[in-house]
Structure 1
Amino acid sequence: MKKFFKILGLAILLFLAYFGFTTYPKLDLISGFSAKSIASGHFIDNRSIEMIEKGDNDINMIDLATNKIDETSKSASASVYGLKERKAIYREGLGATLINDDFDESKLYEVPKRTKLNNNLVFPYGNKEVEKVVFENIDYTKLDKAVANAFDKKGEKKKRTRALLVIYKDKIIAEKYDTGFTKDSKILGWSMTKSITATYFGILQKQGKFDINKPAPIAEWQNDERKNITTNDLLHMNSGLEWEEDYEKISDATKMLFQAEDMSKSQVVKPAKFKPNTHWNYSSGTTNLLSGILRNQFKTHQEYLDFWYSALIDKIGMNSMVVETDMAGNYVGSSYGWATARDWSKFGLLYLHKGNWNGEQIFDESWAKYVATPTNDSNGVYGGQFWLNAGGKYPDAPKDLYSANGFQGQNVFIIPSLDIVIVRMGLKEDGQFDFNGMLKGILGSVK
């Protein structure tokens, strides 16, 4: 019996050592992701904690967290086996923010001023109900089949599509939602937010207020080789700066999103590994650095907050959208934009029409071409904070397709040659979900 207890004790010690070495350092990130996800999903989209846990947080390791919601303080907290508790607070206008112990919750904060479209126009240029239009060159039987095929059958969790929207010539020709989601559901776009962030540089450039080809205005870089990095290099993810984007472990990206107070600084401190415009490397830190550059274009923080909505989001009627901020008040331009599928589609339509929104040119036509042109060393898969099909990633879709893409398969596909925008929101991404097959089916319905 003593021998048994010795072996048992040794096994427990080995397990604790293994746990301490492999899992304990991740607990801060696990509970941080979970608390932030619960707070955002509940207070932005009114989802129940059970729905979020079974959907958004149904991820390996993240499902270890135990979560709580405090309706009074509008916050959520999470811990793993009672360890490493993290808290996220919700503030109207700013969304949910993951905070640390040093964060002063009583401190006054500014919120963006919002305006809502108030006209008598139908979608996409107004808020009247969608017009039913039948196009003779659309095979609706094929289209409906392709759309239905993107969703799981009852009880399955293979495709996990939440929303699918197809727009042809500015009219919705197909729209379907998973159980629990509707046209009014706000869904996190994750890295689709990067494409939103980039657009502000196109807007400022049109206004004559910013030149992307000049060296990036980062004071910390002026005394070393990084002074040669341009904003154009940053927009192309081609700065040459060190960065690790890996969500399966503790990496630069996960430390930024779940630990950093000021996310705009996470990429700033990284050294140069390559010369600018020679080595493409996808980096959420770069996009948050771009958000920081945007912040510095304005005299006050209030102007920065307002600009994101007045210059783009509310201007094109994406009134459901909320872009969340970090503890320092920066918009998390890499990852935290929420909107309905219909509002995400408006962003795609803006680019489909080369920056023209119902007669108003929001950015120059050349900007749409810029973001859809392959950046050096990306093998035709990436442009200016947009993903491209120039290299034939989707063999059954036109080469001119480009898209805003996000974690777990959030997509706004823009196909200029066919006058089509497709929005797919879900929980499975490429490799797990057949995007090429979905595109082939949908596009095959257009004669």
Structure 2
Amino acid sequence: MKFSQYFSLFAILSILVSCSSDSEPTSETDKSGTPPALAPIPTDTYFPPISRTNEWETISMETLGWNEDQVDNLYNFLEDNNTDAFIVLKDGRMVIEKYFGDFTSDDNHAWNSAGKNLTAMLTGIAQEEEFLKITDTTSNYLGEGWSSLPSEKVLNITIENQLTMTTGLDYTVENIFCTDPNCLTYLNEPGTFWYYHNAPYTLLDDVIASATQQDFNSYFSEKIKEPIGMQGLFIKVGYNNVFYSSARSMARFGILNLNQGNWDGLSILSDQNYFNTMTNSSQNYNLAYGYLYWLNGKSSFRLPNSEDEFTGSLIPNAPADLYAGLGLNDQKLYMVPSLDLVIVRMGGASNEELLGPSSFDNEIWGLINAIIEN
């Protein structure tokens, strides 16, 4: 029997019982005839189980007081813009989980540069475990000859420069993804200019592997993936090391971030100074960039493939405290501490292929605001 049939039968029985016993209050009212108070909205953080990955507590938009009548506008926008998966969590609980076309909750998708967040947190863990210091020169772990710079120049590049996109390596080369030594040449002194140069970031994976003396995937799995119940894998695609996982795994990582590196009492990243620097302006040249995290609400920002600085907030429609993983073709992991929200979007490019932020960010947040604003 369908739920609707059960509901109808229950309603009829309730009416019959009420009519046969008018002097007794029904279960829906107290003796004064006043309906019972609604249950309070839970504000504690929910952590989905590790061993039962299909189990996830939900909460309705009605319970949250959200505007459910605005949801179709959001779904139409997502579908029109090549979306495969979309998730909204409130305090860790699933409010929206929507898949489009043939894509399902079990399917894996590339994070693209949203995966930089994973590497940033893993670097902090490696430092906490004293395998490295982010102030160390990169050459300590990559050895000689990893670039075409003379020794007096290359020794000035640190792990922190890699985390902040301030290595000074030449970003005007033909392929900014190329990690071959001949592609890594001198342009600026480290720490004096910000440019979204992918190759130095990619080499962080080799730095971590060298420092820990472990395979990068194995170290990531041990320190982040398995403890929080993620699945997925970093896969070499050309010069890039791209993480693939389900949308739910990306959402789990979002919960870990909103809890500042803690998963249900288990400390994944204990170093709060590192976490705070990672998710705040890490240098003065692009205020909207931390340690491989994009930041909203700053007075100015820079974008990939550009040397220009723009005035204002990165995503004007989004909350000022939002920080994010933003990847090629509009892979999005939005985290909003003030609202305890995690939002995941996976799919194809909404319009043009951009490496990180795009107009999609502001458009989607306009639609999200119409739902969550009371």
TM-score by length of 1: 0.62
Aligned to 2:223, the other structure's residue is in SS state: helix
Report the alpha carbon displacement of residue 382 of structure 1 after superposing the two structures with TM.
1.6
| Structure-2 separation of matches of 1:213 and 1:325 | 27
- Computed over aligned residues only, the root mean square deviation of the Cα atoms, in angstroms, reads 2.6
* Contact 1:267–1:289 (Cα < 8 Å) also in 2: no
Matched, 1:417 2:324: no
Verify the 8 A CA contact 2:206 2:216 in the aligned structure 1: no
Separation in 2 of the partners of 1:143 and 1:268? Answer: 53
Contact 1:352–1:414 (Cα < 8 Å) also in 2: yes
Displacement of 1:390: 3.1
Q: What are the within-5 Å matches in structure 2 for residues 157-306 of structure 1?
A: 158-216=80-138, 217=140, 218-220=142-144, 223-244=151-172, 251-253=175-177, 256=178, 265-266=179-180, 270-299=184-213, 303-306=215-218
Distance 1:267 1:223, change over 3 A: closer
Trace 1:4-19 onto structure 2 (pairs within 5 A): none
Greater RCO structure (CA 8 Å; 6+ sep): 2
Query: Alignment partner of 2:155: what SS?
Result: helix
What per-residue deviation string (whole Å, max 9, x for no partner) do you get for residues 103-129 of structure 1? Answer: xxxxxxxxxxxxxxxxxx972644242
User: What amino acid sits opposite 1:169 in the alignment?
Assistant: D
* Percent of aligned pairs with the same amino acid: 25
Match of 1:141 in 2: 68
Q: Matches of 2:276 and 2:370 in 1, distance apart?
A: 26
Instruction: Indicate yes or no: 2:249 matched with 1:343.
Output: yes
Cα pair distance change 1:425/1:305, threshold 3 Å: closer
Q: 1:99 maps to what in 2?
A: none
Contact 2:297/2:315 (CA < 8 Å) preserved in 1?
A: no
- Partners of 1:122 and 1:417 in 2: CA distance: 18
Equivalent-residue separation in structure 2 for 1:445 and 1:313 (angstroms): 32
Counterpart secondary structure, 1:133 = coil
User: Could you tell which deviates more after superposition, 216-225 or 420-429?
Assistant: 216-225
| Matched-pair contact (CA < 8 Å) for 2:83–2:346 | yes
Say which SS state the counterpart of residue 191 (structure 1) adopts: helix
Residue 422 and residue 414 in structure 1: after superposition, are their counterparts in 2 closer, same or farther (change >3 A)? same
CA contact (8 A) 1:401 1:415 kept: yes
Larger Rg over CA atoms = 2
Q: Is the 8 A contact 1:240 1:276 kept in 2?
A: yes
Asked if structure 1 preserves the Cα contact closer than 8 Å seen for 2:296 and 2:315, the reply is yes
State the aligned residue count.
300
* SS state at 2:154 partner: helix
Q: Distance in 2 between matches of 1:167 and 1:267?
A: 43
CA distance in 1: counterparts of 2:163 and 2:224, whole angstroms: 18
Structure 1 portions without partners, runs of 5+: 1-120, 153-157, 257-264
Q: Is residue 2:281 matched to residue 1:374?
A: yes
Distance (whole Å) between structure 2 residues aligned to residue 128 and residue 424 of structure 1: 19
1:440 aligned onto 2:366: yes
Shift of 1:146: 4.7
The amino acid of 2:92's aligned partner reads D
Residue 116 (structure 1) aligns with: none
